[in-house]
Amino acid sequence: IFDGDTPSYKRKEILSNPPDILITNPDMIHVHLMKRNPFKKIISGVRFVVLDEIHQYKGAFGSNVYFILRRLERIAGNFQIIGASATIANPKEFGEQLFGRSVTVVECERGRRGRIHFLMLYPQTISANLMIGRVAKLLTQHGYKVLIFANSHKTAELINLILRRLSVISYVHRAGLPERMRHRIEDAFKRGEIKALVATPTLELGVDIGDLDAVVSVIIGITRLIQRIGRAGRRGQESVAILALRNDDPISTYYLEKPEDYFKNIDPAFVDPSNEVIAYHQILAASIDSPLK
């Protein structure tokens, strides 16, 4: 792994003995393409580029990634691009926009996981956060390991406070915490020492937190919810997924009456390679990578 959290001694090891597989991010590639250093030399020989969770590469971020891939192609020559996603409505169309080339879709109809029991809960007489706390306590009392998703630091801390007041041992996992603390919390949760964990989207993608029985999430679009509940049942066991609606929210009220519509709202992904503001800066960066003709 070579990213912003990689310590200097580890970076030296990677650069002196390049691995077969390098896990990094677009920011690192963007910065190092403009330099003359060993990292640029490593990525100049790349033959495969894998973009996991490609539905995240939309909007302005995706437009930047489009140009970074083009810039990498100038330096490394032709390479194969592979995109992966469990929640994208238009993989071929979006892949061709993002990659700038024709795309073949390889689709898996059924994944390896246990049955997920899905519940949509509406807080009729209490707040949504208190409802989440009570549901999480009930699940932990029945031996479930529970991951609770909030959309902001404030909400995560509030739900964690409610859980503590309900005598549930829980912790918060969010951006801004020291890396060592985040890893300590992840490991304790993986070992089962913590039965309830409240997270912002930091645990939505990519982090292995082991065997998980239940996911509770504040209301969010179905595309991202599928990512969140995909953390559960990965060992083949049956699991529980709960979407917590809000009683002060028109969208929640709508889904209370027509819950089936929630599952139809998978957003098509879109990226705009012709964004002039982004193109201006990316072409300047490309001229630093290697002179433009």
Examine the pLDDT at 267 and tell me if it is beyond 80: no
Q: Are 23 and 61 in contact (CB under 8 A)?
A: no
Q: What is the pLDDT of residues 8-25, one digit of tens each?
A: 999 999 999 999 999 999
For the chain, what percent of residues have pLDDT higher than 70?
94
With vertex at residue 123, the alpha carbon angle to CA 175 and CA 153, rounded to the nearest 5 degrees, is 10
Q: What is the pLDDT of residues 167-223, one digit of tens each?
A: 998 999 887 888 788 888 888 888 888 889 999 877 766 555 667 889 999 998 887
- Average pLDDT rounded to a whole number, residues 130-135: 96
Which runs of consecutive H residues, i.e. helices, occur in the chain?
8-16, 26-33, 38-43, 59-76, 91-99, 128-141, 153-165, 179-191, 222-229, 250-257, 276-289
Task: Kindly report the average pLDDT of the chain as a whole number.
Answer: 89
Q: What is the pLDDT of residues 53-70, one digit of tens each?
A: 888 898 899 999 999 999
Examine the pLDDT at 101 and tell me if it is beyond 70: yes
pLDDT of amino acid 209: 63
- Average pLDDT rounded to a whole number, residues 110-119: 77
Q: Which amino acid is located at 15 in the chain?
A: L
Would you state the structure tokens that stand for residue 114, as one six-digit string?
């246990």
Greater confidence (232 vs 42) lies with 42
Task: Kindly state the DSSP code that residue 114 receives in the 8-state scheme.
Answer: -
Of 108, 101, 165, 268, give the one whose Cα is nearest residue 157: 165
pLDDT of amino acid 228: 84
Task: Kindly state the DSSP code that residue 90 receives in the 8-state scheme.
Answer: -
Determine if the pTM surpasses 0.85: no
**Helix 59-76 and helix 91-99, axial crossing angle in degrees, nearest 10:** 50
Buried b (16+ CB within 10 A) or exposed e, 81-91: bebebebbebb
